[in-house]
Amino acid sequence: MSAGVPTRGRVSSLLPDFPWDTIAAVKQKAAAHPGGLVDLSVGTPVDPVDPLIQAALGSVAAVPGYPTTHGTPELRAAAVAALARRFGITGVDPAAVLPVIGTKELIAGLPRLLGIGADDLVVIPEIAYPTYEVGALLAGAKPWRADGLTQIGPQNPALIFVNSPSNPTGKVLPVEHLRKVVAFARERGAVVASDECYLGLVWEGEAVSILDPRVCDGDHTGLLAIHSLSKTSNLAGYRAGFVAGDPELVAELLEVRKHSGMMLPFPIQAAMTAALADDAHEAAQRERYRARRDTLRKALEQAGFRIDFSEAGLYLWATRGEACRVTLDWLADRGILAAPGDFYGPRSPEHVRIALTATDERIAEAAARLS
């Protein structure tokens, strides 16, 4: 510990070890492959930002003033229109849309922003994107892994995170399941935060929003839908997302975030507005990922992997029926890096997560090495 940092109140001590540090050695091994590393561990986009979005960003680069925390009316209107056009979500009040500096930031801060604290329960998926747990721990609350409502028993959670389509599993929750979550949350006085980062990347069947009229009967009370532009519009580097839903909850988040200076830069607001107004670049990106998924899936299955769930999202949830770190090593021998299932909680010891986010050339190379 460095001098001068008080031991009391070290916030990082509340948090798990940063998981990516644990695959440094296997990454080094994979990178030593003569054909170079095929990194399928992180879901970071590799295709360029569409020129129409770049132009929108640049068009306001000279504007000197502070942006508003609530976002421009144009941005909020574009979000409302995109939710309706792309996902059939109706009845969203433009005032109940709030831009965020990437959705990871919102998820990590949400329990705290909602005043959730000690003794409160935050329900997270059994196999989950790690930031839900982090958000609960940062607020001093208790994370509780549960996919089914019976696993919550008689407890009254303050917040329930759902994530459909899921990272890492690609599992999609049907309308009926989400309806039960909404009814349960309303009965117990919980907020539902639905992370819909991958709603625009569905390969089989249908995925629906928590704000879909078939799920909530048009009543957004207690519901928040979290949308990221990182994956569908390749804007991970811009940090662009928004939350929409219950007008009262969004107004409360806005109030706290205004005081905290949590505002999205104006050029990013302009870029987001353009991205939300255009479906063509999003559709093109989806088709790139679909082709990569088809190639990888076939190669993995031919190499003896079983793919579970994975009907949507940017990952293949794969297993060889052995400890995930053994599979990770097997892949590294072929110069391929994946993410081990144990990154996503204790209930996925035998899976690895294989991202579709590599160039066509790297995906073809991975497929060749698997055969």
Ligand X SMILES: Cc1ncc(COP(=O)(O)O)c(C=O)c1O
Tell me how crowded residue 210 is: count the other CB atoms within 10 A of its CB.
27
Q: Which stretch, 96-104, 119-127, 208-216, 297-305, contacts ligand X (CB under 6 A)? A: 96-104
Query: Does the protein bind ligand X through residue 103 (CB under 6 A)?
Result: yes
Residue 178 CB contacts under 8 Å (≥ 6 apart), including other chains? 162, 164, 194, 208, 210, 212, 215
Residue among 102, 111, 135, 340 that touches ligand X (CB under 6 A) = 102
Query: Does the protein bind ligand X through residue 289 (CB under 6 A)?
Result: no
In whole angstroms, the minimum distance from the beta carbon of 337 to ligand X comes to 16
Query: Does the protein bind ligand X through residue 233 (CB under 6 A)?
Result: no
**Count of chain residues binding ligand X (CB under 6 A):** 14
Within 13 Å, how many C-alpha atoms sit on residue 24's CB side?
4
Q: Between 42 and 61, how does the x/- string for binding to ligand X read (CB under 6 A)? A: -x------------------
3 three-state secondary structure: coil
In whole angstroms, the minimum distance from the beta carbon of 19 to ligand X comes to 13
Query: Does the protein bind ligand X through residue 272 (CB under 6 A)?
Result: no
Query: What secondary structure, in 3-state letters, does 288-332 show?
Result: HHHHHHHHHHHHHHHCCCEEECCCECCEEEEECCCCHHHHHHHHH
Query: Does the protein bind ligand X through residue 125 (CB under 6 A)?
Result: no
Residue among 69, 164, 169, 230 that touches ligand X (CB under 6 A) = 230
Q: Between 150 and 169, how does the x/- string for binding to ligand X read (CB under 6 A)? A: -------------x---x--
For ligand X, give the closer residue by CB, 103 or 319.
103
In whole angstroms, the minimum distance from the beta carbon of 129 to ligand X comes to 4
Cβ burial of 62 (10 Å; 0-12, 13-18, 19+) is exposed
Query: Does the protein bind ligand X through residue 299 (CB under 6 A)?
Result: no
For ligand X, give the closer residue by CB, 168 or 335.
168
Whole-number Cα distances in Å, 141 to 112, 146, 207, 348 = 9, 16, 30, 23
Footprint (CB under 6 A) of ligand X, residues 189-228? 195, 197, 228
Residue 137 CB contacts under 8 Å (≥ 6 apart), including other chains? 14, 15, 143
DSSP string, 176-240: HHHHHHHHHHHHHT-EEEEE-TTTT-B-SS----TTSHHHHTT--TTEEEEEESTTTSS-TTT--
Query: Does the protein bind ligand X through residue 310 (CB under 6 A)?
Result: no
Query: String of b and e for 128-153 (b: at least 16 CB within 10 Å)?
Result: bbbbbbbbbbbbebbbbbbbebeebe
Beta bridge partners of 332: none
In whole angstroms, the minimum distance from the beta carbon of 4 to ligand X comes to 32
Query: Does the protein bind ligand X through residue 129 (CB under 6 A)?
Result: yes
In whole angstroms, the minimum distance from the beta carbon of 100 to ligand X comes to 8
In whole angstroms, the minimum distance from the beta carbon of 255 to ligand X comes to 22
Fill in the DSSP letter of residue 68. Answer: P
Assigned token pair, 152:
């919550």
Footprint (CB under 6 A) of ligand X, residues 166-185? 167
Query: Does the protein bind ligand X through residue 236 (CB under 6 A)?
Result: yes
Residues that bind ligand X in the complex, under the rule CB under 6 A: 43, 102-104, 107, 129, 163, 167, 195, 197, 228, 230, 236, 241
